[in-house]
Structure formats: structure tokens, C-alpha cells
Chains A and B, each alone.
Chain A
Amino acid sequence: MKLAITNGRVIDPSQNLDGDFTIYIEDGVIDAIRRDKKPRGGYEILDAKGAVVSPGFVDLHTHLRDPGFEYREDIESGSRASAAGGFTTILCMANTNPVNDNASVTSMIVNRAKEVGLTNILPVGAVSKGLKGEQLAEIGEMVKAGCMAVSDDGRPVMNGKLMRHALEYAKSFDVPVITHAEDLSLSEGGSMNEGAASTAMGLKGIPAAAEESMIQRDLLLAKLTDHHLHVAHVSTATGLEMIRRAKKEGVRVTCEVTPHHLVLTDKSCSDYDANAKVNPPLRTDEDCAALIKALNDGTVDAIATDHAPHAQDEKEKTPFDCANCGLIGMETALPVLLKLVHEKKLPLKRLISLLTSGPAKAFKLNAGSLKKGMPADIVIFDPNQNVVIDPHQFHSKSKNSPFAGWKLKGKVLHTICRGKVVYGMSLRGAQATWQSK
């Protein structure tokens, strides 16, 4: 099939492109980008007038809950959420049941993702067997089966020696080690950021130092082993400052921040709204400002959602301190992040690079670019369309979003994965592969 996307404002940070172009797609790959308006030669036309066309978004951090917790999400519903959010490549964490700590689980995820075929799913393998933090998982075999990185995400690797060995061993297979930085002895029993709000609510707090001390340890280990450390969901100003300094020193480190840590603070937990309970916890206004600054100055490599589906029983229907941590983010990421653009805190081009070329470069993924020969993974969105966030409209199985009811701007119109329209109306009003709700 030959497809041409016309009339859109094409923004592709990987080749510093911003302007009116027509994108030509053939056999699922980008064939050309040209200035011409009227494609000739049997192309189906997708008119993107008034919209932004960019490489499909890349999410380095999601939880698809499959296998094991399919009541929260599965590979199919997660793929739909991904497509609806404009993501065409997503990495999924290993805290499934069974844990993705061996090649058979990796293969199962890879195969199921291909069957569904709505988004590129790249598994992240566990660092340690059973995420127990005791023995290394079979990292080599998992990489062979398709894992792009390793992480015990959800938990830190508390044992420094094991973390050192994980970095060294992963180096042999050229995959990054993603750290969920948290000193469990400092965060124990905590359910939100330690500060005025936790005191007022009578909830045990998690101090910023619980995260920062672990980031610092892992930066030192990355330096020691000279291997690529990726710091997941950085939430504090000091944490970012340490990463900034390490980068200057030449330590091989990349990092991500989440949309929720950019726009929400611990005040969102007031009234005991467990949808705002997340790990690391929502911090302060000063932290948000520092995170946004780091998006702009290049300290942050990627924005990742940490999409973490939970059933209502695990969130809203239970006391705050017993509720699970995490929130879903793939379907709200774009409008939430565009808020920063509309408020002039972040240029649109920079935002797109943090969702495309940034993460792709950090993890050396064959994604996040519209260069000739790249997979035709594309998102077309209207950055100005008004939306009201309604979790009941989500394609995810779970509804745990702290953004419910938010009035924002920005809507994904079409998502194209490997040349196939996987979200939005297809050409000439026909049904897409599957229709959005």
C-alpha cells in the first residue's frame, strides 16, 4: 500500500525538520519527504491540514501487566491505549507474573505484541531473577529474545554489588540498565512526598533523599563500570542536578521524566485521592520547575509515561496508604504535555524530540524519525483541539488517572504504525483497523 500524508506541519527533530511537507510511505517504511502538494502515482491521501505530523511517540516506560495481571491491562488493551495516545513504540517493564526474567516470557510478549500488531512493543527484562534483587536474571538470553534494556522497575536493586554486576553484565550485551532509584529503608511505609501535605494528611512521607541517594549511588556505579545507566522517572530537583553534573563529567547516563511529575505536586494527594499516589511520589512546585528546566536544557533525554494500570479496587476503593502506586498515562500524555507548550514553558519542537528522537537515541531504537527508510511510525495530532479528560473513554482497561475532568488542548487524530493506520479514522472516512470508541 502506498500512502501520502499531505498538508500537515511536519516536525521531525531527528532531521531538524519543521514545515509543510508531504510524507510518502510505501510498504510500511518512509519512502520520501518532499515539498510537493499533490502526490501522483496511486497514493492514498491522508490530509493532515491544520495538524502536526511527527514521528510516532516512543515511550521508554510502560507496564502492560501481561502476563499475570490481565484484569488491569493486557497486551491488546495496552496496544490500543498506546495507539490512541500517539505512541508507536513502547517498552514494557518486567514486573509481570511470571516476571519477565527469562527468554520464554520475553518471547511470549514479543509474539503476542506482533499478533496484536497495533504498536511496536519492546520488552524490558528483569535485572534479577524474580525481581528479588539477589541473582542476575538471564540477561543475554532475554536480549536475544528481544529485550531492549533491563530493569527491576517497581523496585530498586538495593544491593550495590548486584547493581554493579548488572551494569557490567549488561554491558556485554549492549543494553542499558534502567534504575528505579529508591532507597527502600528511607521510603519504607511512605505513601506520598514528605512535606507539609503529608504532615497535614497524617501520612508517612517519602523524603526526596530516598530517591536522590540511590541516583547518586547508581551514577557512581555507572562511572565505575563505564556502562549506560538510565534513570527512570526522576522526580526531584537535586536528582536532576546530580545527573546534569554526571553528564558533564562524561558518565554514560540518560534519564526520563514523566508527564505527571511535571504538572502535579503532592497537593494533588489532598482529599486522599489515590489516583495521585505514585512512586516516586508527586513532589513540590520547585521540583516541577526544575524538571521543566531540565527538559529545556537537555538534561532530560526522554519523557516517558510510566503507564501503570491498576483496578479501581486497588486504588479508589481502598485506604490511601493501602492503595497501589501508579497511574496510567499513555492516553493523557500529549494533552498534558501540550499544556507546557501552551503555557510557553516548553517549545513544541523540544517536546516532540523528548517523545521521539530523544528516547530513540537514548536506547538506540530504530524509531522516532521520519528519515527515508525508517519504519512508517507516525502520529498526526491537533495541538489546539479542546479535550476533557474522561477515563471512561480510555482504551486502557484501567481508569486510574489523576487527570480526570481536566480541560486541556491537544488530540491525537491518527496514529500510523508500520504504515498502517492504527488509530483514528482511516482514509475517506472508512474504518481503521479498529475504530476508536
Chain B
Amino acid sequence: MSLSQRHILSVNDLTQKDVALILKTAENLEEIAHRPVKKVPALRGKLIGLCFFENSTRTRSSFEVAAKRLSADTLSISTGGSSIAKGETLLDTIKNIEAMQPDLLVVRHASSGVPQFLSKQVACPVINAGDGSHEHPTQALLDLMTILKEKKKIKGLHVAIIGDILNSRVARSNMILLKKMGAKVSVAGPATMIPAEVEQYGVEVAHDIKKIIPKADVIMMLRIQREREADGLFPSLREYARFFGLNRETMRHAKKDAVILHPGPVNRGVEISAEVADGPHSVILDQVSNGVAVRMALLYLMCGVKQMSF
């Protein structure tokens, strides 16, 4: 079994079979995290380039742990420490990294489309680790894995995605992937944060989150970036929290078995209150563990190893 795609750039490109293979592989690899020696030699001698042209802690460390658990070597560059700051062009930087013969590149960039662009410039496979407001495929895959673990199915589930849909790559990848896998998806937030023609994803739109929370099996909260306040998308964090945040009061209308996801990092008291983030519905930390497993699966499936050897 292998993936239909050489690169992971958009969840649009993944077939249902691909998704099943990735999740199955992730499940198999997951147990390595619970071994006394958390390492298998599957990718020994492989070099994974972690090219983070935008700040990231979570995704980057997740990929790093995933690579190390599979014994791959990693090469890490980040905006601050790289020659990007010295005026080198993106393409020059990537060509220099490519000259070190990586077997796979993981790319995060603040501009939409950069992983696509770079995939045409390098010989090795590329994983999009988040590009601008476009996509974050590995996040959607780990979210899917988390939902599946909790709900045992995707088809027919109602997923509510709440917050800054406009600027969210997590929302875009999740809308596409969840719809592909048969879920019903609603998005909600102030109209300033709903992108033009979002209906193209086959989702329902609401501006009053209280209307969709009672129907939701899964509630996915998005991080509110503080700079959006200056951008005029909402008047204050306080008002945002009051009308669009998830708290004990809004959760009172939720289904008893609803689960809450958040891609992190969490703004406690803004999009989600501390008690809800830490409460019984929350699977936020499971997402982090599943993230490592999903990324291990992708690295494993994409680095050209034929035999399972763990």
C-alpha cells in the first residue's frame, strides 16, 4: 500500500484510501510512544528537512519528535536563525537545503502556496506544515484521528468550526477533509471572520454560535490572533469572548457527549474558557499525541521505505 500522492500539499489531493492508510499507519506507530525505548530504525539514514519559515512550536516539535522516533536525522531551519533574515531569497535557501540531499522537506510558510511552489523546485517529497491561510493538512489529519478515536466514525457527525475562519488554514483543511469523509460541517463566527463564498466547501454558516452548539457532535475552536483586533475584525477580546467564546454557559447547550478540539495554542478566556479547555469534553491534549502519530505515519509512508520494520 502506498499513497496516491508524492507530496502532501492540500487535503484536496488525498483520496479516502490515502486517508485510511495514513490513519491505519498512525494507529500502528502510535504504540511506540509507550515503549521504554521510544525509537524504531525505520527511517535510519534518512534526512528530513524541517523548513519553518514562520514561527511554530507545536507543529515543528511534533514533526521533530515524529522524525526522531523513526530514527531519521533532522535538519532544522527557522526564519529567525536562517539566512532569510540576511536577504537570501526563499528559493535560494531551499536550493541550498536541497544540496544537502534531504529525503523529505516539511515546509511551513506565512504565504499561501509556498509548499506547492517549492514542491516543483525540489526533487524530494514535500509536506505542507501550514501555508498562510491556505491549508494545514497534517492538522486536519490529526483532528480526524482524534475525532475517530472518540466517536468511532466520521460519516454523519456534525462538526462545528468556530472562530476566525477567514484567516484559518486549519479551518480550510478541516472543512475539506471532514466533508470528504462524510461529516456535516458548520462554521460560525462574526461575519468579519467568514470568508467570501465559504459555501463552496459545502458548509453551513452561522453567526450565532448558540444555534449550532446544541447540534454539534464535535466543536472545533480556532485560535483568535490578537492582531486581528487592530485589523478591525472585532472590537475587543472581551466582546469576542462574550459572543463567540466557548464557556460553561455556552456549553450548557451542548450535547452531553460533544468533544472539543482546539489546534492550539489556546487563548484561555478568549475563544475558550479555562474550565472548558481543561474540562471533560476537551480532547485538546489527545490532539497533540495523535499529531505525532499522524506525522510519523506520513514520514514513514513518504520516505520510500517498502517494508514495515517496527
Contact = CB atoms under 8 A, between A and B. Distances in A.
Interface stretch (B43-51, B107-115, B140-148): B107-115
A196 B197 contact: yes
Interface in B148-174: 169, 172
Interface stretch (B129-137, B216-224, B245-253): B129-137
Given A202-B169, A319-B111, A320-B111, A271 B116 contact: yes
A318 B90 contact: yes
B89 interface: yes
Interface in B108-129: 109, 111-114, 116-117
Given A271-B116, A319-B90, A202 B132 contact: yes
A195 interface: yes
A321 B111 CA distance: 6
B196 interface: yes
B113 A272 contact: yes
B91 interface: yes
A203 B133 contact: yes
A318 B121 CA distance: 12
Q: Which of B109, B112, B114, B169 has the most chain A CB within a 10 Å cutoff?
A: B112
B110 to A, nearest CB: 8
Contacts of B89: 313, 317-318
A203 B112 contact: yes
A321 B132 contact: yes
B197 A202 contact: no
A320 B196 contact: no
B198 interface: yes
Contacts of A200: 172, 200
Contact of B135 (A202, A205, A320): A202
A203 B109 CA distance: 13
B195 interface: yes
B200 A196 contact: yes
Contacts of B90: 317-319
Nearest to A270: B113
Contact of B112 (A196, A318, A321): A321
Interface string B10-25: 0000000000000000
B195 A320 contact: no
Contacts of B91: 317-318
Given A201-B112, A202-B169, A203-B133, A319 B117 contact: yes
Contacts of A272: 112-113, 116-117
A195 B112 contact: no
A195 B200 CA distance: 10
A202 to B, nearest CB: 3
A201 B169 CA distance: 10
A322 interface: yes
Interface string A290-329: 0000000000000000000000010001111110000000
Nearest to A188: B231
Nearest to A316: B117
Contacts of B195: 198-199
A260 to B, nearest CB: 20
A331 interface: no
B112 A202 contact: yes
A319 B198 contact: no
Interface in B84-102: 89-91
B134 A319 contact: no
A202 B113 CA distance: 8
A196 B169 CA distance: 15
A195 B197 CA distance: 6
B197 A320 contact: no
Contacts of A205: 196
A319 to B, nearest CB: 3
Nearest to A198: B196
A194 interface: yes
Interface string A191-220: 000111011111111000000000000000
A199 B113 contact: no
A317 B117 CA distance: 8
Contacts of A317: 89-91
Contacts of B117: 272, 319-320
A196 B196 contact: yes
A200 B91 CA distance: 24
B94 to A, nearest CB: 11
Interface in B183-224: 195-198, 200
B161 to A, nearest CB: 14
B184 to A, nearest CB: 20
Nearest to A199: B195
Given A318-B90, A319-B109, A202 B196 contact: no
B200 A320 contact: no
Contacts of B198: 199
A194 B196 contact: yes
A251 to B, nearest CB: 31
Interface string A251-274: 000000000000000000001100
A202 B131 contact: yes
7 contacts: A198-B195, A199-B196, A202-B112, A202-B135, A318-B90, A319-B109, A322-B111
The 10 closest A-B pairs by CB, nearest first: A202-B134, A319-B111, A272-B113, A202-B133, A202-B112, A196-B197, A199-B195, A321-B111, A320-B113, A196-B200
Given A199-B198, A202-B113, 8 more contacts: A200-B200, A202-B131, A202-B132, A204-B133, A317-B91, A319-B90, A319-B114, A320-B113
